[in-house]
Amino acid sequence: MESLPRHASPPISAVIRRIPEDFWVDEIPVTEPNGEGEHLWVFVEKRSENTAELANRLARAAGIRKSAVSYAGRKDRHALTRQWFSLHMPGLPDPSIEQLAQAGLNVLRHARHTRKLRIGALRGNRFSLCLREVEGERSTLDQCLQAIAEHGVPNYFGEQRFGRAGGNLAGALAMFEGRTRPDRERRSLYLSAARSALFNAILAERVRTDCWNCLLPGEAVQLDGSGSFFVTDAVDGDLPQRLDAWDIHPSGALWGAGEPPSHDRAGALEREVASRFPDLAAGLRAAGMKQERRPLRVRPADLTWRWEDAAQSDLILEFTLPAGVFATAVLREIADYTDAAASAPTQRQEAAEQH
């Protein structure tokens, strides 16, 4: 996929994720456990570990199957994150905190609940990020951040969605061509990467033509905070006011079977972009994925910033994003950043190098 255009040139350059503590993520759940039920919810802090690996360790520590552990969303490996997991333990006693701690698990809270955690069952995430070795136009940084707080940023999927060196997207293409038959979890990752790549390409075209933050004729208009949408033939009536109030948003296709609901200018743009990637579009159709929508824009809530040092070389950013939105979509509009974690070896590579 081609590089993704920014809405505007970022005023600074910086390094992110020099250490995991530079990238704090706190999950905001839809609900809290009610204290009873056959599901044990545990709120865990993890460092430099991906969510699936931690779920497997929880299963081993509790003596249950991996399939009995669930979570609302995957979090970055190269970060310090806090999130809920649910363990299905009907008729079983709760494992002790000491037992979990001996397995290297930092459990901050735990309680029973009547239901399991399901993917997507979170309101969002609160981020606290440290940008190090900042260089550039500090004088225009405040103006940039204020504009983002007011007008938002393009809602790109982050590079994490595509795996290390884009491996998930390459895996999707191999799967679509019949060269591999991945297991259920890997297949889900590959399908997500393929849909995300097509969405990013559609959004990139809207950014290039300066229409990512406005409505087009034939737009599938998405309601704020909802997967619901309606298609408009003309941008008239109260639509411009609702758009300015962030009650509605322009949306892009999450590709699947059939045709996207957009038409006219908005629909023509989506279909033209999808035609550039026939293998991805055809593979998603054949996999039976549904046509869905994602807002083209997002606005970070409660955005604050401050310098950590007198030399103004380390910048602290804090903000909240809805579920499914990537912090790097915000960062890329603020800084031309280098991700120090991108060159860090994975645990599997480290193990291989030791043998």
Residues 317 and 223 in one domain: no
Count of CB atoms within 10 A of residue 189's CB? Answer: 19
Q: Which residue has the higher pLDDT, 193 or 138?
A: 193
| Structure confidence at residue 348 (pLDDT) | 41
Give the tokens for residue 6. Answer: 């920014």
Q: What is the pTM of this model?
A: 0.91
- Is residue 3 pLDDT above 50, yes or no? yes
Where does residue 158 rank: exposed (0-12), middle (13-18), buried (19+ CB within 10 A)?
middle
Examine residue 73 and state whether it is found in any structural domain, yes or no. yes
Residues 113 and 161 in one domain: no
Alpha-carbon distance of 199 to 277, in angstroms, equals 11
Name the E strands within 30-149.
39-47, 69-71, 80-88, 106-113, 122-136
pLDDT digits (tens, 9 = 90+) for 144-157: 999 999 999 999 99
Q: Which residue has the higher pLDDT, 264 or 349?
A: 264
- Is residue 76 pLDDT above 90, yes or no? no
The tally of domains found in the chain comes to 3
276: domain range? 154-298
Bridge partners of 179, per DSSP, are: none
Bridge partners of 129, per DSSP, are: 23, 317
Residues 178 and 289 in one domain: yes
Q: Which residues are catalytic?
A: 76
Examine residue 6 and state whether it is found in any structural domain, yes or no. no
Rounded mean pLDDT, 80-94: 95
- Is residue 351 pLDDT above 70, yes or no? no
Among 282, 298, 314, the domain-final residue is 298
Examine residue 266 and state whether it is found in any structural domain, yes or no. yes
Residues 183 and 251 in one domain: yes
Examine residue 58 and state whether it is found in any structural domain, yes or no. yes
Residues 293 and 206 in one domain: yes
Residues 100 and 190 in one domain: no
Residues 246 and 347 in one domain: no
- Is residue 1 pLDDT above 70, yes or no? no
pLDDT digits (tens, 9 = 90+) for 300-324: 999 999 999 888 899 999 999 999 9
Residues 185 and 222 in one domain: yes
Residues 291 and 166 in one domain: yes
Percent pLDDT > 90 in the chain is 85
Residues 211 and 276 in one domain: yes
| Structure confidence at residue 290 (pLDDT) | 95
| Structure confidence at residue 268 (pLDDT) | 98
Residues 228 and 107 in one domain: no
| Structure confidence at residue 352 (pLDDT) | 32
| Structure confidence at residue 104 (pLDDT) | 84
Alpha-carbon distance of 317 to 251, in angstroms, equals 27
Name the pLDDT band for 96 (thresholds 50, 70, 90).
confident
**pLDDT averaged over every residue in the chain:** 93
Examine residue 285 and state whether it is found in any structural domain, yes or no. yes
Examine residue 67 and state whether it is found in any structural domain, yes or no. yes
| Structure confidence at residue 344 (pLDDT) | 61
What's 176's domain CATH number?
Answer: 3.30.2340.10
- Is residue 347 pLDDT above 50, yes or no? no
Among 283, 298, 313, the domain-final residue is 298
Total residue count of the chain as it appears in this document: 355
CA separation (Å) from 131 to 14, 209, 335, 342? 6, 30, 9, 15
pLDDT digits (tens, 9 = 90+) for 280-299: 999 999 999 999 999 999 99
Percent pLDDT > 70 in the chain is 96
Q: Are 343 and 147 in contact (CB under 8 A)?
A: no
Examine residue 26 and state whether it is found in any structural domain, yes or no. no
Residues 159 and 293 in one domain: yes
Among 278, 298, 318, the domain-final residue is 298
Q: Please list, in sequence order, all residues whose beta carbon lies within 8 angstroms of the beta carbon of residue 222, skipping any fewer than 6 positions away.
A: 228, 229, 248, 249, 250, 251, 293, 294, 295
Rounded mean pLDDT, 210-219: 97
| Structure confidence at residue 164 (pLDDT) | 86
| Structure confidence at residue 2 (pLDDT) | 52
Rounded mean pLDDT, 110-128: 95
What's 347's domain CATH number?
Answer: 3.30.2350.20
Examine residue 80 and state whether it is found in any structural domain, yes or no. yes
